[in-house]
Amino acid sequence: MGDEFDMVVIGAGPAGEKAAAQAAYFGHRVAVVERAAVGGAMATSAITTKAMREAALYLTGFQRRHLYGVSLDLDPRVLIDLLRARAADVGRAMAEGVRENLDRHGIELVHGSARLGPGPTVAVEPADGAAPRVLTGDTVLIATGSRPFHPPGIPFGDPDVLDSETARALDRPLRSLVVVGGGAVACEYASIFMALGADVTLVERGGRLLPFLDAELSTLLADILRSSGTRVLFTSDVAAVGRDAEGLRVELRDQLGDHAVIRPEKIVFAAGRVGNTEELGLAEAGVATDARRRVLVDEQYRTTAPRIYAAGDVIGPPALGSVSMEQGRVAACYALGIPFKQTVNPLIPFGVYSIPEASMVGLTEEAARDAGHDHEIGVARFEDNSRAAIAGSTDGIVKLVARRDDRRLLGVHILGESATELIHQGQAVLHFGGTIDYFIHSTFNVPTVSDAYKYAAYDFLQRLQGRGGVRPV
């Protein structure tokens, strides 16, 4: 039984780790093949980027300068060294947690590059140059994740032309930076480097940031970024990137065809991802992929090949670590007939770790309208919240979307510090089919930012009476 397993998992990121642990918990023999560090992009990129954000805020006092008229004034190179050290510490801790979880469940971790074979089998070329192994599994789960998409014609070999993974390896203080993209990662990087004192230009080919967000929050975030000093350019794209005697040269083109040239120290492309699948031998195994090499699966996470499943970023959006974990668990249950988790939560919270944070769950106002709901909204602004005033984090809102007739909650949208934590209160109400009355009748600690839920609910009631925006007593 040395190389025979109930499940062989390829990839030790969020989906692979949780799928393996789920299977092992129910008594199955599991092997995980990983060619790099365990933890995947969650440990090496996503978590470390968030750590960079928190370190930047703490070390610069970015959001507190206006409160007390003082700020930390560290030497820029010392600041960068501290920030990188903190991000590395967090990444190591996350990876160690994954290793401990695999050990705790008795899962065999095999280091090396994997390739699918018949049976299904997985051929592993060990990273240390040892003899190849062939692992036989009753089932195989592909959880190899994704990596940044590199638009053609962009010279990523240039040390100052970065993608969303290499950008975290900040090697010096920056005076200027261009960030390309309007998604979560682009907004996060733009915010981090802005807090570190760089002159940031955010370039988005569409007409708004974070198009999955409620439009009001999207517009408000762009306004806040601009007020903090970020240059936000919509309906613009990068026509060319090169280097001349003066340094890096970035040519921008807007929707009218007009061109402009800017000269940042670095440029970061955060414009989507592609699946890590090209070395797996998917075509030979009968596993279909899309144009960005992402694996195609059905509702049970089955691929087009028998007994081969896939989960996580490698199957495409939403490409969230939280969702990848759940997909891995559900896929393991279907693959091995475990009567436990059969679906991924349909009410997924989305979180963006920009400055300030943004988060949502449920229907946006636009989606509620398109779905035919007779709805109304309720809004509470952080500038009216006592805890936000104490903390100096007064940018942002809590926005509720609910039906007019029975006041059933349809969606929650938050822009502001701790939005990614606050969202779960609204998510819980959505799960039990609750109404905005829950917030009306709840007693919240004061001062807390959570109290904004109550005032957003009151605003909803007032809007029903044509008195929206009137402050409740």
* Structural domains in the chain plus CATH codes: 4-148+274-336 (3.50.50.60), 161-271 (3.50.50.60), 356-464 (3.30.390.30)
Q: Name residue 88's amino acid.
A: A
What's the pLDDT score for residue 204? Answer: 95
The H or E element containing residue 84 is: helix 76-104
Separation between Cα atoms, residue 206 and residue 223, nearest integer Å: 16
pLDDT of residue 218: 96
Q: Which among 242, 253, 230, 246 has a CA at the least distance from the CA of 179?
A: 230
Q: What is the pLDDT of residue 472?
A: 47
Distances (CA, A) of 232 to 117, 178, 208, 209: 48, 10, 10, 9
C-alpha distance from residue 439 to each of 173, 287, 456, 465 (Å): 45, 48, 9, 18
d(CA 340, CA 98): 22
pLDDT at 468: 58
Structure confidence at residue 295 (pLDDT): 97
Residue 473's pLDDT is: 45
What amino acid is encoded at 423 in this protein? I
**Cα radius of gyration (the chain):** 24
Instruction: Kindly report whether the peptide bond that precedes residue 120 is cis, defined as omega within 30 degrees of 0.
Output: yes
Find out whether the peptide bond into 472 is cis, omega within 30 degrees of 0. Answer: no
Tell me, what's the pLDDT at 232? 97
Terminal Cα distance for the chain, rounded: 71
Residues of the chain with pLDDT under 70: 1-2, 43-46, 61-75, 467-473
pLDDT digits (tens, 9 = 90+) for 371-417: 999 999 999 999 999 999 988 889 999 999 999 999 999 999 999 99
pLDDT of residue 350: 95
